[in-house]
Structure 1
Amino acid sequence: MKIRSNKSTMDLGIQSLLLHFHKQEASIRQVMGLVRTRNSSYLLVLFISFSCFEFRCAIDTITAHQFIKDPEIIISNGGDFKLGFFSPTNSTYRYVGIWYAKVSASHVVWVANRDRPLKTSSGILNISEDGNLVILDEEKKIIWSSNVTNSVSNPSAQLSDSGNLVLKENNTGSILWESFQHPSDSLLPKMKMITDTITGKNVQLTSWKRPSDPSVGAFFADKKGELKVIITVTVVIGSVFIAICTFFLYQWMAKRKGGIYLKFHGEGNYLAVSMNKDKLEELPILSHEELASATNNFDQSNKLGQGGFGPVYWGKLLDGQEIAVKRLARTSGQGLEEFMNEVVVISKLQHRNLVRLIGGCVEGEEKMLVYEYMPNKSLDTFLFDPVKRESLKWRERFNIIEGIGRGLLYLHRDSRLRIIHRDLKASNILLDEELNPKISDFGLAKIFGGDEDQANTKRVAGTYGYMSPEYAMEGRFSEKSDVFSFGVLLLEIVSGRRNASFYYNEQITSLLGFAWKMWETDNIAVLIDPVISEPCSKMEILRCIHVGLLCVQDFAKDRPSVHVAISMLKSEIIELPRPKQPVFTTIQVAPETECSNRIRIAGSVNNVTITTLYGR
């Protein structure tokens, strides 16, 4: 018999009655004969009562001939518990479980196929020929079994009002298997935490891995009720080390940034991020095994690119979600500090023009960040490719410029934190399937306090050619530092050329120098990419070049804010000031393929020295 989960009690009674008519034709004939000789109303009531009684007896039981198929359920005799198929929050996988029937927010107390979810809604819970309770997938393959070794002839599985699913032999009444001896994460009132006398196995509760994944987690409770973490001595030492580092990091950052800190905790496997008295924000932690499986063991064919942080791989999680896995290279000079910095910064931000962080992984020396996957990769792969560039007409390019501006404005003014990105460039602008831009790579980002307008650093890091003069030479950065980078991007998008593409030109040192020369000689049309050189867009393109030159002026005070720059681009400000010559552009910019231009500069502001070069 199959019981539907979305029928009322009356519907179930009617279904049972109809089933009774089909299965017991002889009985029906007898009753129909009686109807002709007895009071019809009385017999009809009696017959329906009998049928409902028979149905009531079978609603809590599964036999070899009475199975349930997704999304059907059975209900315990007193109506306290239900058993059937369900999907956890934020998951499409299907599991067989037991949950409370009389609570609005049903809590799952037991899961059968914890580590082997069904990927479709075609599952069946049945009793097999050898007497085992089994779950079958869409191909009728067994994905879970009660694993009773002795074959029995007349078994049934009954859901009791205690929440216990009991598999027994009907002829003798002997219990073959019960869910109370194989609990999940919940201790029910009549459950006893004792050692299984048959197998000798100690009965214990085990936590879910995360709210969306009921597979076995990191915690268990034994018969003494003591909560223990299943870890090795090595992990204990590592955890202590992380705790000490986190404490000192908190102390240091609390003084400088108002109390930002990270906390790793095992329950549910989450990375908690907190700032001041804000509510903890949690990011799922994915295991190395999960990410290795998703990326085909970090195969080279899955590699999307390489950055200063390390390689980035395409992957696909078990639930079908596509991801980009950013893996810290062991030779990277960035390490834990920038890893944690990126987690802290981006976990606080939500905007359609910022890339979304899905989770992270920290296991031993492995450190990985998991992002939403951008199928069109980064802006530079389109903009500087002679073939792909053809698909970036002016309308697409202007939409990209506007999107970058909106994302930058959110960082500077509209988010609850004030963020200076410090590494805005074409390769850090990702494009989704509709070519919408998303700013990425927050490893170098800095958080400003409410009353801060600029800051100094002895550790300058960024990409040469995109860094403002005051930041590259003196270590001073502010919103106007990002505005300079935005101006470089504007000129690159309009021209289709890299800032460093003039490295071998003896007359012109950079794209900024070339743009200024064309501006001064009234020959700006030469700067415009022929792909977008259309008469109907000419004025808008010229305005973008004008705004770009205003953004790359040498002195920060001369540059517009992002808000003003956006207003200029949208012609909300009609009259634009004349830009000043960017003298800083006389310094030659080397291409990334020739030498690294992601740099770190250390030293005082009066004595700047380049100490280390890192590939980007």
Structure 2
Amino acid sequence: MGRFLLLLFTLSFVSLRFCLGVDVLSFSTELKDSETLVSSPSTFRFGFFSPVNSKGRYAGVWFNNVPVQKQAVVWVANKDSPINDSSGVILISKDGDLVVKDGRGLVHWSTNLSRPAGAANARLLSTGNLVLQKVSDNKDKTPSIWESFEHPQNAFLPTMTISTDARTGKRLILRSWKSLSDPSPGRYTAGVIPLPFPELALWKDGLMLWRSGPWNGQRFLGLPERDSVIDLYGFQLANDNRGSVSMSFGYNQSMYHFLLDTEGHAMEKYWSKVNQEWSSGLMFPINCDIYAKCGQFSSCKSGLDPPCKCIKGFEPRSNQEWSRGNWTQGCVRKTPLQCHSNGSREGDGFLRLKKMKVPKNPQRSEVNEQDCPGSCLRNCYCTAYFYDTGLGCLLWSGDLIDMQEFLTSGVTLHVRLAGSELKTSSNRSLVIIITMVGCAFLVAVIVLLALRKVTKRREKNRNARLLFERMEALNSNESGAIAANQNKLKELPLFEYQVLAAATENFAVTNKLGEGGFGSVYKVLLSLGKLREGQEIAVKRLSQTSGQGLEEFVNEVVVISKLQHRNLVRLLGFCIEGEERMLVYEFMPGNSLDACLSDPVEQRLLDWKTRFNIIDGICRGLMYLHRDSRLRIIHRDLKGSNILLDENLNPKISDFGLARIFRGNEDEASTLRVVGTYGYMAPEYALGGLFSEKSDVFSLGVILLEIVSGRRNSSFNNDDQNLNLSAYAWKLWNDGEATTLVDPVILEECFENQIRRCVHIGLLCVQDHANDRPSVSTVIWMLSTENSNLPEPKQPAFIARRVSPDAESPWESEQRTSINNVSITEIIGR
């Protein structure tokens, strides 16, 4: 009996140690599936986990104190051999190997030490490095016999090293996961190249995908526009000039790392404690970063269409392929170089290319900067040179591959051309004079034509003038801090009609996302002005008969251009030309909330956790408008069709055409023109023209009841028993049958108290008197505080019977899109 109690005490003590969090797995203990090691300080955790959409169990290291759904795993032991149940254990074998076994004793992974180590301990260090050490009294001075940092995977952590030794063939490289649910080795790898000059590189299936350019002792010459990242995070590169090179960084933020994702992108990742989100930044490759995208003797520049162009003195090898957008064959010389048998050079010269990424495979010459050009000219095979204070004179022979022109910095590359190609600039002065005279004449003609055109179209262009005058007036009335950001407002791209028409293939039906009373919405995938290449955008083209007039259009551009929040849709630009008015938005692939709730298939994707997240996001976006933004905004048209969902079903508030700005101590305003959507308007606004923050709270309450019930407010149009959703919810609440309101799709989930609380909050928001309704900040507090007692709701506002079979708006189409539409209902106040 005593031995049994002793054994029970020992097992309880071991379990308690793992529950409290220890960083060491001892030689005599096992780490079960439900137990973990925690580093000191508690930045990392080691144990079993399952990737997203996977039931397999893997032993790995991940960041601690991060929600499970946002878990970031940085190293996996049995990445090729998952355990199919929770019977797995991690232990140290009698030979000193760290081993992962399943319940049957089958080994799924082992450190496989070449020499038996005997008694050893596994320790999770504060850096995230899992090390194996021999048992010793002094743990800090005991050398490691194995460590996970010597077996890197898809994550690059501070103090970790990636390296290549050309003499031994040993490489420490990053390798992507096969997919988000499968951590086995994927198709992409990243590492350092030692010779002839150290470089970073990305490979896909062993073929180069991207290169950084050579390291000059301080920076990579192919990353000029990302030098700040290299400097900030303390990157260091060690090179012994004999084929061994290694790189590490020492950023002092523990929740930071670089990730090679499953698509081959190098991402910088930082955990924001405030937002409880991973902040991500794409490092490379981006567009022109792709290795040899334009072939030889061609330069790539992002933002151009097409991005590739032959450098001066060269022409496409195949004009047919070039016109098709296939630039991989590159360019060839128009005029061959001349080379005398005695090695001297006559007639050839150099073309200066600024802000360039240096080509692949340079060779070093020992000459100084003054002699570097001559060193190239004396070599018949030299095609370019560049001098760097850290690297010296670099020469290129043969084809120039992987050149890129940057927007800001870069190097000046000197490309060798035949003298006849350079002589075209000898008469530059005459050409300049002729060009200036021609340009002056052309400008005069253009000015005369423009004056005539302005005179004829003065009335049409008043819309554009009104827009910019409204922008200037808004900024001039704001505080100094806001007025300082006036230039930011002017940076919002103003697109030409021809550009958007070409992008949508002249507004073809095949590109149309949907159509409503406001006009049509089109999806586009391309680069437009300041937008990145490949970005999906949505173009809303307002019809001339739209319920949204010039005032609403101007209001939306002015207001939303000054707002920045994760739960507000982002306006990317606009077009106002003649009678044409268009808005360019970020594309929301998740459709609108209204469409998802009314679609039986998409509705099933909205489990309660997702719906609660949508409620929380709407509230936080509205809180930003009311209290946290530089301007206090009253939306005035909050409804399900104006809540858009991104690919992760995160909500974003859209359509600010009817929004109004409050300044100073203004809490309420009135209007003689009541605009909005029937069924979502507060009674004091619909009947008296008064609007305030509480007007938006009323609309929020209707949306909250829609999300819980899965029914649109307008679904009660033909219901003689219930006037609207609020009335129906109020009746069920008084009858003690609030759960009857809940959507059957989520009724079986174990969140009854939370769902009932949301019904309670929704009824508080739709109360008849504005003063009885809570503020948005109070709503957020109510949602996050489960143990507080909420006040009993009073009878909601039952507005007069519907004025139209379509209870939302006489202009609104039944067809739903993922882009906001605008509806205006005019009610005569009394």
Separation in structure 1 between the aligned mates of residue 615 and residue 656 of structure 2, nearest angstrom: 19
Give CA-to-partner distance per residue, 1:139-196, whole Å, 9 cap, x none.
35679x99x9xx88858562369999999864xx685534996xxxxxxxx897321x
Of 327, 333, 354, the match for 1:139:
327
TM-score, normalization by structure 1: 0.64
Q: Is 1:591 matched with 2:591?
A: no
Separation in structure 2 between the aligned mates of residue 252 and residue 131 of structure 1, nearest angstrom: 53
Does the Cα contact within 8 Å between 1:494 and 1:545 map onto a contact in 2? yes
Q: Write the letter of the residue equivalent to 1:298.
A: F
Q: Note the C-alpha offset of 1:238.
A: 7.0
Does the Cα contact within 8 Å between 1:393 and 1:531 map onto a contact in 2? yes
Q: Is 1:305 matched with 2:514?
A: yes
Of 584, 601, 613, the match for 2:826:
601
Of 486, 494, 504, the match for 1:279:
486
Give CA-to-partner distance per residue, 1:405-445, whole Å, 9 cap, x none.
00000000000000000111111101011000000011111
Q: Is 1:236 matched with 2:483?
A: no
SS at match of 1:416: coil
Does the Cα contact within 8 Å between 1:167 and 1:178 map onto a contact in 2? no
Q: Write the letter of the residue equivalent to 1:279.
A: Q
SS at match of 1:338: helix
Of 424, 428, 434, the match for 1:177:
424
Give CA-to-partner distance per residue, 1:480-519, whole Å, 9 cap, x none.
0000000000000000001111111111121111111111
Change (3 A) 1:420 1:302: same
Q: Is 1:159 matched with 2:351?
A: yes
Separation in structure 2 between the aligned mates of residue 113 and residue 194 of structure 1, nearest angstrom: 30
Separation in structure 2 between the aligned mates of residue 280 and residue 311 of structure 1, nearest angstrom: 31
Partner in structure 2 of residue 419 of structure 1: 633
Q: Note the C-alpha offset of 1:317.
A: 1.7
Change (3 A) 1:180 1:386: farther
Give CA-to-partner distance per residue, 1:224-270, whole Å, 9 cap, x none.
99998797446534785577667777888988x67469xxxxxxxxx
Give CA-to-partner distance per residue, 1:525-573, whole Å, 9 cap, x none.
2110011113520000000000000100111111100111111111267
Does the Cα contact within 8 Å between 2:723 and 2:798 map onto a contact in 1? no
Paired positions, count: 462
Separation in structure 2 between the aligned mates of residue 555 and residue 321 of structure 1, nearest angstrom: 45
Change (3 A) 1:595 1:340: closer
Q: Is 1:194 matched with 2:441?
A: no
Q: Note the C-alpha offset of 1:297.
A: 2.4
Q: Is 1:336 matched with 2:557?
A: no
Q: Is 1:350 matched with 2:564?
A: yes
TM-score, normalization by structure 2: 0.49
Q: Is 1:373 matched with 2:587?
A: yes
Does the Cα contact within 8 Å between 1:160 and 1:166 map onto a contact in 2? yes
Does the Cα contact within 8 Å between 1:165 and 1:180 map onto a contact in 2? no
Q: Is 1:481 matched with 2:692?
A: no
Partner in structure 1 of residue 254 of structure 2: none
Separation in structure 2 between the aligned mates of residue 177 and residue 85 of structure 1, nearest angstrom: 33
Separation in structure 1 between the aligned mates of residue 571 and residue 583 of structure 2, nearest angstrom: 7
Partner in structure 1 of residue 503 of structure 2: 294
Separation in structure 1 between the aligned mates of residue 795 and residue 316 of structure 2, nearest angstrom: 86
Of 629, 646, 663, the match for 1:432:
646
Change (3 A) 1:528 1:180: farther
Of 315, 333, 346, the match for 2:524:
315
Q: Note the C-alpha offset of 1:587.
A: 3.0
Select between 239-248 and 336-345 the one with higher mean Cα deviation: 239-248
Change (3 A) 1:568 1:229: farther
Of 679, 683, 687, the match for 1:465:
679
Select between 238-247 and 581-590 the one with higher mean Cα deviation: 238-247
Does the Cα contact within 8 Å between 2:520 and 2:540 map onto a contact in 1? yes
* Counterparts of residues 54-93 of structure 1 (less than 5 Å): none
Separation in structure 2 between the aligned mates of residue 581 and residue 433 of structure 1, nearest angstrom: 38
Q: Note the C-alpha offset of 1:582.
A: 1.6
Q: Write the letter of the residue equivalent to 1:591.
A: D
SS at match of 1:536: coil
Q: Note the C-alpha offset of 1:348.
A: 0.5
Structure 1: tracts of 5 or more residues without a match = 1-68, 74-83, 96-110, 182-189, 196-200, 205-220, 262-273, 607-616
Partner in structure 2 of residue 51 of structure 1: none
Structure 2: tracts of 5 or more residues without a match = 1-209, 215-221, 228-281, 290-298, 339-346, 355-411, 528-532, 813-822
Separation in structure 2 between the aligned mates of residue 376 and residue 584 of structure 1, nearest angstrom: 32
Q: Note the C-alpha offset of 1:126.
A: 7.2
Q: Is 1:402 matched with 2:616?
A: yes
Separation in structure 2 between the aligned mates of residue 179 and residue 431 of structure 1, nearest angstrom: 60
Q: Is 1:450 matched with 2:664?
A: yes
Q: Note the C-alpha offset of 1:469.
A: 0.5
Change (3 A) 1:248 1:352: closer
Q: Write the letter of the residue equivalent to 1:384.
A: S
Select between 589-598 and 416-425 the one with higher mean Cα deviation: 589-598
SS at match of 2:424: strand
Does the Cα contact within 8 Å between 1:328 and 1:368 map onto a contact in 2? yes
Q: Write the letter of the residue equivalent to 1:177.
A: T
Q: Note the C-alpha offset of 1:328.
A: 1.2
Separation in structure 1 between the aligned mates of residue 535 and residue 302 of structure 2, nearest angstrom: 20
Separation in structure 1 between the aligned mates of residue 612 and residue 352 of structure 2, nearest angstrom: 65
Give CA-to-partner distance per residue, 1:88-109, whole Å, 9 cap, x none.
99995659xxxxxxxxxxxxxx
Does the Cα contact within 8 Å between 2:677 and 2:809 map onto a contact in 1? no
Partner in structure 2 of residue 494 of structure 1: 708
Change (3 A) 1:85 1:418: closer
Separation in structure 2 between the aligned mates of residue 179 and residue 440 of structure 1, nearest angstrom: 58
Q: Write the letter of the residue equivalent to 2:351.
A: L
Does the Cα contact within 8 Å between 2:626 and 2:693 map onto a contact in 1? yes
Q: Percent identity?
A: 47
Change (3 A) 1:512 1:72: closer
Does the Cα contact within 8 Å between 1:167 and 1:175 map onto a contact in 2? no
Q: Write the letter of the residue equivalent to 1:575.
A: N
Change (3 A) 1:234 1:537: farther
Q: Note the C-alpha offset of 1:124.
A: 5.9
Partner in structure 2 of residue 392 of structure 1: 606
SS at match of 1:601: coil
Q: Is 1:515 matched with 2:729?
A: yes
Does the Cα contact within 8 Å between 1:567 and 1:573 map onto a contact in 2? no
Does the Cα contact within 8 Å between 1:374 and 1:431 map onto a contact in 2? yes
Does the Cα contact within 8 Å between 1:510 and 1:586 map onto a contact in 2? no
Change (3 A) 1:289 1:142: farther
Separation in structure 2 between the aligned mates of residue 113 and residue 539 of structure 1, nearest angstrom: 57
Does the Cα contact within 8 Å between 2:538 and 2:585 map onto a contact in 1? yes
Partner in structure 1 of residue 773 of structure 2: 559
Change (3 A) 1:175 1:88: farther
Q: Write the letter of the residue equivalent to 1:159.
A: L
Does the Cα contact within 8 Å between 1:93 and 1:118 map onto a contact in 2? no
Separation in structure 2 between the aligned mates of residue 85 and residue 117 of structure 1, nearest angstrom: 22
Change (3 A) 1:226 1:435: same
Q: Write the letter of the residue equivalent to 2:748.
A: E
Q: Note the C-alpha offset of 1:129.
A: 8.5
Give CA-to-partner distance per residue, 1:590-612, whole Å, 9 cap, x none.
43589547443265x43xxxxxx
